[in-house]
Structure 1
Amino acid sequence: MRRFEFPVDKHHAKAVNETLADVRRLQWSAALMAVVLAAAAVGLFFLGQPWAYILGAVLAICAVTSLWMVVWTPRKVGSIDQLYAKGDLVPALISEVHPRGYTLLALVDIAKPDAAAPRYALATRTIRALPGKGYTVGHKVPSVSVLGDRTNRGDSDTWQMVSMMPIAWGTWDSKVIAKATSQITETEWNLLRRNISMSEKVRASDNQYVLLDPAQLPDELH
């Protein structure tokens, strides 16, 4: 477990952090769905037919569930400070440059805390932007891991959902980003560089990560 503490610039994060933007989009989608379902339920109730009452009640329950998602989603994800605080510092490189963004390739230990050993995986995330400009393939992007399960009943020793969040989405300070970069070993950076050609395969895989064979890992990562 390797944590990296730094003062998160909340105004900067709200402007550029795509994880927060994704949460906001989910909230807006859930709110819009709640309005549509509630309107449909009201329309059915006005019909005054037994079948319409039943269907309207079902839609009303769905509308309430959608409203609950508006409140539950940010609580489930956590605040931006919590996300940076609980994630591990991981190496990520720009592995692909697209007309409207980049793909990041990261080396992430996806083992749960009670697992017997680390389980390293290559993971990708396609992003729209990074602060600054002119980035090319191979550029170092120190990040924190964002890990989770789809349900509370996951019994695997590895996380189901794997992503990463650049430190640069949490601060403008180049010294902080440089410090994060230096705390990641050259062994990890080199392993990523050797696997940069795997980016497209990882991006196309289920959940956008591929487990690495422990036998092929450097001794430092065992």
Structure 2
Amino acid sequence: MRRFDFPVDLPHAKAVNQTLADVRRLRWSAIFVGVVCIAGAVGLFLLGDAWAYIVAAVLAVAAATSVWVALWAPRKVGTIEQLYRDSPLVPAVVAAERARGLTLLALVDIAKPETSGRHFALVTRNVEAVPGHRIAIGERVPCAAVLSDRTTRNDSGVWQMVGPMPIAWGTRDQKVIADAVAQIPEVEWRVLKDKLTMVDQVDATNERRLELASKELPPELR
């Protein structure tokens, strides 16, 4: 697995990194739901009716679940430094412009470590902005591919969830970004260039990814 180690600019990452923003939204949503459920449970308990006790108990369980999610989400994802350090470096390019941002098209090996061979897939991600990069179709955007599973019962041999996270969301240093681009073999960049027209097809899938058959890849990546 190819990794790229660099000093993460935390203030910058907290300001622009959408992965962190997604975790924050999930956490605050869980806290809000938990507070609402607790308030509802208390109100029903004070009614003193048998049915109210039952509903209050259900709300209490929901509140406990929400609190657990609020505590679990940041630990599950890890710190931004851990994400960049532990996630593979992958190529991505600006594939489309949208009214409120861009669509990135990435090439990611989604095979798990215990899986024999590689399983390359095209992956899309809509982003609001990628500081330090031109808004131009084909612009090279090196990313860390955040890989995870939805459940512990996944035995498919490939990761269920893939999220390209631009290196530029972790640093403002143009040299660092250029070094990341240089560490990715040119053959991988060429694949993305050749597959740019598939961005809408990939983006329309449920998982926003499309596995590539071996014959669709150059010999170096088979």
Instruction: Give the TM-score, by structure 1 length.
Output: 0.98
Alignment of 1:1-222 (within 5 A): 1-132=1-132, 134-222=134-222
1:11 deviates by 1.0
1:132 deviates by 4.0
Structure 2 gap ranges (5+): none
**What SS is found at the alignment partner of 2:207?**
helix
Q: Distance in 1 between matches of 2:132 and 2:110?
A: 30
Structure 1 gap ranges (5+): none
**What SS is found at the alignment partner of 2:74?**
helix
The percentage of aligned residue pairs carrying the same residue is: 55
Alpha-carbon RMSD across the aligned residues, in angstroms, is: 0.9
**What SS is found at the alignment partner of 1:141?**
coil
1:215 deviates by 2.1
Query: Structure 2 vs 1, CA of residues 195 and 133 (structure 1 numbering), >3 Å: closer, same or farther?
Result: closer
Q: Distance in 1 between matches of 2:50 and 2:99?
A: 54
Q: Distance in 2 between matches of 1:47 and 1:201?
A: 55
Query: Structure 2 vs 1, CA of residues 134 and 190 (structure 1 numbering), >3 Å: closer, same or farther?
Result: closer
Query: Structure 2 vs 1, CA of residues 185 and 80 (structure 1 numbering), >3 Å: closer, same or farther?
Result: same
**What SS is found at the alignment partner of 1:130?**
coil
1:197 aligned partner, one-letter code: T
Query: Structure 2 vs 1, CA of residues 189 and 73 (structure 1 numbering), >3 Å: closer, same or farther?
Result: same
**What SS is found at the alignment partner of 2:116?**
coil
1:49 aligned partner, one-letter code: D
1:133 deviates by 6.4
Contact 2:132–2:172 (Cα < 8 Å) also in 1? no
**What SS is found at the alignment partner of 1:72?**
helix
Contact 2:94–2:141 (Cα < 8 Å) also in 1? yes
**What SS is found at the alignment partner of 2:114?**
coil
Q: Distance in 1 between matches of 2:213 and 2:102?
A: 26
**Which of 105-114 and 55-64 deviates more?**
55-64
1:33-73 CA-to-partner distances (Å, cap 9, x unmatched) read 00111111111111111111011011011101101111100
2:84 aligned partner, one-letter code: Y
Residues matched between the structures, number: 222
1:57 aligned partner, one-letter code: A
Q: Distance in 2 between matches of 1:67 and 1:190?
A: 46
Q: Distance in 2 between matches of 1:118 and 1:210?
A: 14
1:140 aligned partner, one-letter code: R
Contact 2:133–2:139 (Cα < 8 Å) also in 1? no
Q: Distance in 1 between matches of 2:40 and 2:103?
A: 41
2:183 aligned partner, one-letter code: Q
